[in-house]
Amino acid sequence: MKKILAISAIFFMAVFGFNYANAAAKYVGATKCKVCHMSEKSGKAYPIWEKSAHAKAYATLATQEALEIGKKMGIENPQKSDKCLVCHVTGFTADKALKDTTLSLAEGVSCEACHGPGSDYKAMSIMKDRAKAVAAGLLIPTEKTCLTCHNEKSPTYKPFKFAEMNKLIAHPIPKAAPVPTTK
């Protein structure tokens, strides 16, 4: 009996542990990040991203150039093809259930493509604390993150120089001015 209890305890732990990990964070879309990441003080991540090539990555799939690339590969509409969307939008390979209705294809490669799905870390109380945010799914991107898309599978691949490319998308939070002392 004891053995059965122990086994079922392990079983339940496994199931619930698994479910907990499975109740994974959802992609909520860039507009959900915008509210807090607009100001100069916050590093202007949103306006910087909005002007970047990443924000246009879905629109790019409707250009003449994209249509020509598609044609050669037997793809009629790149905006509808898995073969293109996988790198030109956010969270493409994630389960449908993990995409909130607020995430749109039109936003292209947005915050969560690099920082991970945000439903569980976007609350102020969690965001303020890096350790908590990371535990809730926030990713601090590295070169590896970029290489999931910037690789030879891209039909227009250009060798990826991380340091150079990272400068082009940089959105650092300005260091706080030193606190004036009266001494």
By CB under 6 A, is residue 26 in contact with ligand HEC? no
How many angstroms separate the CA atoms of 82 and 85, rounded? 5
Interface with ligand HEC: number of residues (CB under 6 A): 67
Binders of ligand HEC among residues 5 to 24 (CB under 6 A) are none
Least distance in angstroms from the C-beta of 177 to ligand HEC: 13
User: Among 127, 125, 97, which residue's Cα sits nearest to residue 33?
Assistant: 127
Is the separation of the CB atoms in 32 and 102 below 8 Å?
Answer: yes
By CB under 6 A, is residue 77 in contact with ligand HEC? no
Is the separation of the CB atoms in 88 and 60 below 8 Å?
Answer: yes
Of the ranges 3-11, 18-26, 97-105, 140-148, which one interacts with ligand HEC (CB under 6 A)? Answer: 140-148
Nearer to ligand HEC, 24 or 146 (CB): 146
By CB under 6 A, is residue 99 in contact with ligand HEC? no
What is the token pair recorded at 139?
């990713």
Is the separation of the CB atoms in 136 and 116 below 8 Å?
Answer: no
Of the ranges 4-12, 15-23, 95-103, 171-179, which one interacts with ligand HEC (CB under 6 A)? Answer: 171-179
By CB under 6 A, is residue 171 in contact with ligand HEC? yes
How many angstroms separate the CA atoms of 169 and 161, rounded? 13
By CB under 6 A, is residue 140 in contact with ligand HEC? yes
User: Among 19, 17, 14, 23, which residue's Cα sits nearest to residue 136?
Assistant: 23
First to last CA, the chain: 72
Is the separation of the CB atoms in 75 and 81 below 8 Å?
Answer: yes
The residue ranges that bind ligand HEC (CB under 6 A) are 28, 30, 32-33, 35-37, 43, 45-46, 49, 53-54, 56-57, 60-61, 63, 65-66, 69-70, 73, 75, 78, 81, 83-84, 86-88, 109-115, 118, 122, 124, 127-128, 130, 133, 138, 140-141, 145-146, 148-151, 153-158, 165-166, 168-169, 171-173
